Homo-oligomer: A and B are copies of this chain.
């Protein structure tokens, strides 16, 4: 029951369009003309609805990260650390080569692709990416305590390694690598994963609920 002239466009759809533009062109590479044309609205409408360009970018990143976090949570709940990593990498490979949207990682394309004046933005994005790495680290610490990883395993270093491969794959995809190429890379990357000689007490029980 709002008063005043009703908005003529769908805010969420417009945000999706803006996300695509940022993904493709980066934060600074996406001009307001690019954005308003893709969103199908005029400049003042954009400012009234989203604040300014930076706020619009943040909202686009929020939406993007929502998807990423959902996929990440699903992967983190896999039974073994190895399965966590494999799912993480495969989902990323599928995502970064999905023909429904631009290739590569939106946050990397959008934020690494920005000059120095948006330094604060970049640092925020770096720390946002670090969240995912930290989540993996805690998951691997849990795996270690469960005996799913050997005693000499370094959860932090392992999480960093996976993050590095993820970032590399995102660049590969942005540069045109095919999904099959990324799959082959994943097969090799996974051979670095430590195998433990200890018993894994919860493994069978967890495996039964894995596909729930």
Contacts and interface: CB of A to CB of B under 8 A. Distances in A.
Counting chain A residues whose Cβ lies within 8 A of the other chain, the interface size class is: 35 or more
A14 interface: no
Q: How many copies does the complex hold?
A: 2
Contact of A171 (B24, B28, B112): B112
- Consensus secondary structure, chain A interface: helix
Contact of A168 (B26, B116, B167): B167
A184 interface: yes
Contacts of A25: 115-116
Given A164-B172, A167-B168, A29 B185 contact: no
Interface of A: 24-26, 28-30, 108-109, 112-116, 126, 129, 154, 157-158, 160-161, 163-169, 171-172, 174-177, 181, 184-185, 187-192, 194
